[in-house]
Amino acid sequence: MKERTKLLLILSVFGACWFLPVDSARFMSGVDEGLKLTRWYAREHVLLCLIPAFFIAGAISVFVSQTTVMKYLGKAAKKPVAYTVAAVSGTLLAVCSCTVLPLFASIHKRGAGLGPACAFLYSGPAINVLAIILTARVLGLEMGVARAVGAIGFSVIIGLAMHALFRKEEAARQSEDLVLMPEQAGGRKLWQDGVYFAAMVGVLIFANWGAPAASDRGLWATVHSLKWVITGVFGVMLALFVWRWFARDELVEWAESSWTFAKQILPLLFAGVLVAGFLLGGPGGGEGVIPSAWVSSMVGGNSLQANLFASVAGAFMYFATLTEVPILEGLLSAGMGKGPALALLLAGPALSLPNMLVIRSVLGTRKTVAFVGLVMGLSTVAGLIYGTIF
């Protein structure tokens, strides 16, 4: 860094500190909400969501053969197979926009094509089957169906578009990956690796099983009442598999790979969560520096501006799994149009400010801008069409 640049940076920081609006109630409310959201995120998502996701990502990186990844998600895979595998894999995980990141980074590192990897990145949080069911129950059947159709279609369209936009770069990357990442021999059978991964996914899913609605007495509520028993069973199974089937050097490599993903992703996530809370408020409904009344006033009706604003605002907000539904219920009662509501549902859960920061660290700025732009643009168009029909 040049000395002039260092001087400008120091002067900028000094000026920002000098003019900090600490006497502004709105500014201090944003600081408070940013810290609250960061604390809530640390308590609710790191131990049960991110840590299991990091270990799954590390295991994919170490134990899943590159041949397998390339067979189903690589450039040689047939498109119907690749995008079906990507969408289904993401859907079954039922994770939020941040928890999906280490898994996405892992399969991309292991040789998955950009298109299928981006389809997986979108599908994980966006096509959450549980969230779609809740959407239909709370916001209406047509909204639930529209969300499901839009999200499934988007995962394929976004993947195909990313592949087309960066075809030459991806061809070069995958050729290099095949040379730089040779196969490693393993002493386990395929079914053993399969149940090992299933146990980790089981821990991730059931440890984060959301609470049912107060009136719900069905399967969802039953599973929730037994979530820790089910999680414990999967945890014991995982410990048994690790003890019986893995050598010490394999476990060390697994831990190191998981730690690599954690170092890359966690700092960016926490920085993004802090800024998101500062700007848009925390989990308790408090306001950040951007008043919620501004947001509500911008998403009424079904204009292009309303749908675009809903897509952009949703993309920068952070939604934990299933929380978007009660938030939308409140916004709809406050006058939000149905089109912008769908636009937010399609863009919000799949993106967030922390999510974008991590994607950039994996894909670079150009590909991240393209991915985010595709999600926002498609969500805006879908909202316009839905709002016109309904």
Give the per-residue pLDDT at 161: 94
Give the per-residue pLDDT at 92: 63
Residue 263: pLDDT band by 50, 70, 90 thresholds? confident
Provide mean pLDDT across the span 109-130. 82
> Distance between CA 180 and CA 389 in Å, rounded?
52
Find out whether 128 and 349 touch, Cβ atoms under 8 Å: yes
The burial of 157, by beta-carbon neighbours within 10 Å (0-12 exposed, 13-18 middle, 19 or more buried), is given as middle
- Least confident window among 312-326, 344-358, 368-382: 312-326
- Is the pLDDT higher at 298 or at 327? 298
Find out whether 290 and 99 touch, Cβ atoms under 8 Å: no
- Is the pLDDT higher at 257 or at 292? 257
Share of the chain above pLDDT 90, in %: 24
> At residue 103, does pLDDT exceed 70?
yes
Provide mean pLDDT across the span 38-57. 84
> At residue 215, does pLDDT exceed 80?
no
Structure tokens at 140: 């209406």
> At residue 180, does pLDDT exceed 50?
no
Reference 108, options 301, 340, 368; nearest CA is 368
What's this model's pTM, rounded to 2 decimal places? Answer: 0.74
- Least confident window among 54-58, 181-185, 234-238, 304-308: 181-185
> At residue 187, does pLDDT exceed 50?
yes
> At residue 250, does pLDDT exceed 60?
yes
Q: Which residue has the tokens 């000094």?
A: 14
**CB half-sphere exposure, 259, CA atoms < 13 A:** 6
The burial of 213, by beta-carbon neighbours within 10 Å (0-12 exposed, 13-18 middle, 19 or more buried), is given as middle
Give the per-residue pLDDT at 301: 84
Provide mean pLDDT across the span 226-247. 93
Reference 117, options 68, 93, 152, 82; nearest CA is 82
Give the per-residue pLDDT at 83: 85
- Least confident window among 16-30, 70-84, 144-158, 193-207: 70-84
Reference 125, options 153, 94, 149, 103; nearest CA is 94
Give the per-residue pLDDT at 95: 67
- Give phi and psi for 265, each to the nearest 5: -100, -45
Structure tokens at 206: 């059931």
> At residue 185, does pLDDT exceed 60?
no
